[in-house]
Amino acid sequence: MSCSRRQLLKSGLSTFIAASLPISAFRFLSPAECQAATGKEGTRWGFLVDTNKCVGCGFCVKACKKENEIPYDAPVTRTWVERYVVTKDDKTHIDSPMGGRDGFTSKQIRDDEIKQEDISKTFFVPKLCNQCKNPACVQVCPVGATYQTSDGVVLVDRTWCIGCGYCIMACPYGVRFFHPIHKVAEKCNFCYHRISKGQQTACVEACPFGARQIGNLLDPNDPVTKIIMTERVAVLKDEYGTKPQVFYLGLDMNVR
Amino acid sequence: MKNHVLRPLWFVLIAIALILIVRHFMVPDDFGVHGQNFTYGFHRLGNVDDWKNFKPKYKGREYCQECHEENVVAVNASKHQRIQCENCHGPAIDHPDDPEKLTIDTGRELCLRCHASLDYPDNPRSRIKAIDPDKHNSESACIECHNPHNPNLEEGK
C-alpha cells in the first residue's frame, strides 16, 4: 500500500480532529435541551380549552365580567360559551344567550325547541381571544393603540385608542368589542394583571371542570405545553393564517 | 429660481416642520417597538405596566381559608369541592375591609347552571345529577333542603 505525504497528513489531521471531539457531541438532544440551547427562553402564553369537559355552567363568563369590570348586563363580554346542538338532519343549532353568562338552563335554542330524538350530538365551546401570533387586529390599528407584548398577549392601550373600530372589524373571531364605559376597543387579555403575578386567569380559576387551562408555551415541562405537543389539538379558523395561541381539544368541524 | 416655485416649496417645508414639532410633544417618549417588530410591537411601553397594575378581584380559595377554615374544609370534603368559593359568594376584592360583607348568590338560577337537566346524550353535562326546574319544587329555594357546602341530603343536614 502506497501513501503520499499529502494523503498521510490529510488523514492524520482528520483522525486527530475526530478523536478530539467529545462523545457528548454525538448525543441526541431532547426537545427541551434544544430549546434551551437556541435561547428561546422566556414566556409565551398559550391557552388550552378542553371542550370534552365543558358543561356550559357559564361561571367563566361571570368571573371574567366581574374581574375585568365589563358592565354585567351589557351584551358584551371578553369570553363566552357557545352551545352546539347538531340534529340528525345535519343542521347545527348554535346559541349563546348573554354569552352564556347565566349558564344553559333550558333546552330551548333561540326559538327552536329541539326534540330529544332528533339530537345527534351536543357540545359546549368556550371562546376567548386567541392572542394570535399574527394578530390581524393589531395590523390594522392606525394609531399603535393595540400591540403584542413580548410574552405574546395582545393588549389595548385605553389612553391611546381613538375608538375607530378597525380592529373590531378585522378580528376573524369576533372577540373584540366596544367598551360601553371607556369608549375604546376592548378584548380578552388572558387577565394580564393576574398571569403576570403568577395567578391563573379568572376564567381558569372559576371553571369547576378544568375545561380551561393556561400555560407557558416556551416551557416544555408546562402541563399545557405537554398536552399541546403530544395530543391532537386544533385551532379556530386556521385558514386565516393568524396562528392562534388558544388550542382546543375535541373541536368539532361544526365549530366556526 | 422663480418665486412661484419657491413659495409653495417653503409652504410644504414649514408644514412638515410643524407636524414634526406637534408630533414631538403629542407622542409619549416611551412609544416605540422595544425590541419587537413594527407590525405588531409598536406601542407605548407604560401601558404594559398599566395593565399589570389592574386590580385583581378574585382571590382564590386559599385567601378564604385564612379566616373561614371550617367552611373550606367542609366544602372540600363534598362533591362541590371543585367549585371555587367566589363562584357563589362573589369576588372577595378587599374583603373583609371592602366589601365588609359579600353578597351570596343563593338563587335557584345559580344551582341550575349545572343541575338543570338538558338530557343531552354523551355530553359531560349528563354526568351531573340534574332536575327539571319546572317540576322539582319549583317554588322553593334549593338551599331550603340542600346545603351547598355538602349537597348530599343525608349528610348535609
pLDDT of residue A51: 96
Q: Is A81 a residue whose pLDDT tops 90?
A: yes
Residue B112's CB is within 10 A of a number of other CB atoms, namely 21
CA angle B123, A249, A129 (to 5 degrees): 105
Pure H helices in chain A: 5-20, 31-37, 59-67, 136-140, 166-170, 192-195, 202-206, 223-230
Share of chain A above pLDDT 90, in %: 84
Q: Is B7 a residue whose pLDDT tops 80?
A: yes
Bridge-partner residues for A83, per DSSP? A95, A124
pLDDT of residue B35: 85
Inter-chain touch A53–B124, beta carbons under 8 Å: yes
Bridge-partner residues for A212, per DSSP? A49
Q: Which one-letter DSSP state was computed for residue A109?
A: E
Share of chain A above pLDDT 70, in %: 95
The answer, for A119 touching chain B at a CB cutoff of 8 Å, is yes
Mean pLDDT of B108-123: 93
pLDDT of residue A71: 97
Confidence of residue A33 (pLDDT cuts 50, 70, 90): low
Alpha-carbon Rg of chain B, whole angstroms? 30
Q: Is A190 left (phi over 0), alpha (psi -120 to 50) or beta?
A: left
Q: Is A41 a residue whose pLDDT tops 80?
A: no
- H or E segment and range at residue A47: strand A45-50
CA B67 to chain centre: 24
Q: Is A241 a residue whose pLDDT tops 90?
A: yes
- Rounded-to-integer distance, Cα A128 and Cα A154, Å: 12
pLDDT of residue A3: 80
Omega into B96 within 30° of 0, i.e. cis?
A: yes
- Of the two residues B2 and B114, the one the predictor is more confident about is B114
Inter-chain touch A53–B118, beta carbons under 8 Å: no
- Mean pLDDT over all residues of chain A? 92
Q: How many helices (H) and strands (E) does chain A have?
A: 8, 13
How do the domains of chain A map onto residue ranges? Answer: 136-186
Q: Which residue has the cell 478523536?
A: A19
pLDDT of residue B98: 87
Q: Is A31 a residue whose pLDDT tops 80?
A: no
Q: Is B4 a residue whose pLDDT tops 80?
A: yes
A133, A150 Cβ separation under 8 angstroms: no
pLDDT of residue A185: 97
What is the total residue count of chain B?
157
Nearest CB neighbour to A147, from listed B43, B54, B128: B43
pLDDT 10s digits, A129-145: 999 999 999 999 999 99
Inter-chain touch A193–B56, beta carbons under 8 Å: yes
pLDDT of residue A32: 60
All 3 cell numbers of residue A226?
Answer: 405537554
- Per-residue three-class SS string for chain B: CCHHHHHHHHHHHHHHHHHHHHHHHHCCCCEECCCCCHHHHCEECHHHHHHHCCCCCCCCHHHHHCCCHHHHHHHHCCHHHHCCHHHHHCCCCECCCECCCCCCCCCHHHHHHHHECCCCCCCHHHHCCCECCCCCCCCCCHHHCCECCECCCCCCC
B chain contacts of residue A208, beta-carbon cutoff 8 Å: 82-84, 87, 114
pLDDT 10s digits, A149-184: 999 999 999 999 999 999 999 999 999 999 999 999
**Which of B27, B34, B37, B52 is the best residue to mutate to test the A interface, defined by the most A CB atoms within 10 Å of its own CB?**
B52
- Rounded-to-integer distance, Cα A201 and Cα B155, Å: 34
- Rounded-to-integer distance, Cα A150 and Cα A47, Å: 16
Mean pLDDT of B16-25: 96
Confidence of residue A19 (pLDDT cuts 50, 70, 90): confident
pLDDT 10s digits, B76-106: 999 999 999 999 999 999 999 989 999 999 9
Topology given in CATH for the domain delimited by A136-186? Alpha-Beta Plaits (3.30.70)
Contacts of A63 (CB under 8 A, 6+ apart): A202, A203, A205, A206, B58, B86, B87, B91
Omega into B8 within 30° of 0, i.e. cis?
A: no
pLDDT of residue A38: 60
pLDDT of residue B73: 94
Confidence of residue B55 (pLDDT cuts 50, 70, 90): very high
Surface of A (156-215) touching B: CB under 8 A: 157-160, 189, 191-194, 196-197, 199, 202, 205-206, 208-209
pLDDT 10s digits, A187-206: 999 999 999 999 999 999 99
- Rounded-to-integer distance, Cα A245 and Cα A91, Å: 29
pLDDT of residue A28: 72
Chain A, chain B: beta-carbon pairs less than 8 Å apart: 133
